[in-house]
């Protein structure tokens, strides 16, 4: 598993993008009209958005409170120090937990049995392998310090004990959150817009535009344009040094 994890670690960012693209593979619906009645359209929308936004929230808190200076180097696990502050006090892999919830949420939003039943278990297996590879590196580098950390903090399931004290004792760096996350947020929001409003092959959630005179293609174009403009603005400000953490 460690060898598998080292392989996937090198391509972990591309893996996330590829799994996002798989949202648009045709599938039988997760929620059907027969089982959900007249409120069929709202179940995947509400549940999916709730889960995926929770995942993005976990990522945001993790990065805004205590960020890993370097999670990898030359395609291999690497760390300057053992980070145990912020959300890392409550979960050893909060960024990965956030990613899993983000993809599970949009999979539900896509109303896809294929994605939830096949792609998500595969994604979880890949992340489990990556985590084992990272832990192997950290254990070799930090020894007993990492073992003690593993004994006190869960690998996957976040502990809510003391979360209030953690949030009150640290300042949330929102600039760092935006600078580090703007690409992930752009891809994430773009996917949500496409799932909700792209008429390919048909509009997934026509009830969302009931009573609205705006054409779905026009609305989708406006949303994508706004996201792209905001993304470019952040990139320009970052490159120019006028927006720093």
Output the pLDDT for position 9. Answer: 83
Residue 185 is predicted with a pLDDT of 93
Residue 31's pLDDT band, with cuts at 50, 70 and 90, is: confident
Per the model's pLDDT, the better-predicted residue between 233 and 13 turns out to be: 233
Q: How far is CA 128 from the centre of its chain?
A: 16
The answer to which of 69-83, 129-143, 158-172, 181-195 has the lowest mean pLDDT is 69-83
- Structure confidence at residue 197 (pLDDT): 86
pLDDT average, residue stretch 109-138: 93
Which residue did the predictor score with more confidence, 244 or 152? 152
What are the domain boundaries of the chain?
2-171, 173-245
Average pLDDT estimate for 227-239: 94
How much is the pLDDT for 51?
Answer: 97
Task: Name the pLDDT band for 88 (thresholds 50, 70, 90).
Answer: very high
101 backbone dihedrals φ, ψ, rounded to 5°: -65, -40
Residue 203 has pLDDT above 90, yes or no: no
Strands 72-73 and 76-77: antiparallel
pLDDT in tens, 40-81: 567 888 899 999 999 999 999 999 998 776 566 666 777 778
Q: For the CA atoms of 19, 24, 25, 29, what is the dihedral angle to 10 degrees?
A: 110
**What is the fold, at CATH topology level, of the domain defined by 2-171?**
1.20.120
**What's the mean per-residue pLDDT of the chain?**
87
Between 208 and 170, name the one with better pLDDT. Answer: 170
For residue 103, the model assigns a pLDDT of 95
pTM value is 0.89
Percentage of the chain lying above the pLDDT 90 cut: 52
């Amino acid at each position: 598993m460690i060898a598998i994890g080292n392989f996937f670690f090198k391509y972990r960012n591309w893996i996330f993008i590829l799994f996002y693209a798989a949202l648009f593979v045709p599938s039988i619906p997760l929620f059907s009209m027969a089982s959900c009645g007249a409120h069929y359209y709202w179940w995947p929308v509400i549940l999916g958005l709730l889960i995926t936004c929770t995942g993005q929230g976990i990522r945001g808190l993790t990065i805004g409170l205590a960020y890993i200076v370097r999670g990898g180097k030359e395609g291999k696990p690497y760390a300057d120090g053992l980070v145990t502050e912020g959300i890392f006090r409550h979960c050893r892999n909060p960024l990965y937990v956030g990613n899993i919830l983000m993809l599970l949420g949009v999979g539900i939003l896509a109303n896809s049995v294929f994605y939830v039943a096949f792609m998500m278990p595969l994604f979880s297996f890949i992340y489990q392998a990556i985590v084992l590879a990272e832990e192997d590196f950290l254990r070799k580098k930090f020894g007993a310090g990492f073992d003690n950390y593993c004994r006190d903090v869960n690998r996957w399931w976040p502990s809510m004990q003391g979360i209030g004290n953690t949030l009150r004792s640290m300042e949330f760096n929102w600039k760092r959150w935006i600078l580090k996350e703007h690409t992930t947020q752009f891809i994430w929001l773009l996917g949500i817009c496409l799932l909700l409003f792209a008429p390919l092959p048909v509009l997934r959630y026509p009830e969302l535009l009931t009573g609205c005179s705006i054409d779905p293609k026009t609305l989708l174009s406006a949303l994508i344009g706004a996201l792209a403009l905001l993304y470019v603005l952040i990139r320009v400000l970052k490159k120019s040094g006028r927006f720093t953490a």
